[in-house]
Structure 1
């Protein structure tokens, strides 16, 4: 997950042309995973 986040940061040259789309998608996925983890543990 950390590698995906680093790869999705628009500051890196290979992903700069992608804009904020990939990082936004990754952010949504992380939020969903966090919610599922919290719901599973509580």
Structure 2
């Protein structure tokens, strides 16, 4: 249950960091790229943990 909440929270942070406001257009996609990478890492860890922790 906690993993699901963490994944949802990271997804919302990813959406919130997209450069859509005028003051954040100079940032580029670095904030959302970093959060996207973090979301992918958490998803992989959650899926590996669900399988029992063995990697073939």
- Quick check: TM above 0.5? yes
- Name which of 23, 27, 40 aligns with 2:36: 27
Q: Which has the larger radius of gyration?
A: 2
Q: 1:6 to 1:15 in 2, by over 3 A?
A: farther
Higher relative contact order (CA closer than 8 Å, sequence separation 6+): 2
- Root mean square deviation of aligned Cα: 1.3
Instruction: Give yes or no for contact 1:10–1:20 (8 Å, CA) kept in 2.
Output: yes
- Using the size of structure 2 for normalisation, the TM-score is 0.61
User: Which structure 1 residue ranges, 4+ long, deviate > 2 Å from structure 2?
Assistant: 14-17
**Structure 2: unaligned runs, 5 residues or longer:** 1-9, 52-56
- Gaps of at least 5 residues in structure 1 are none
How many positions carry a matched residue from both structures?
A: 40
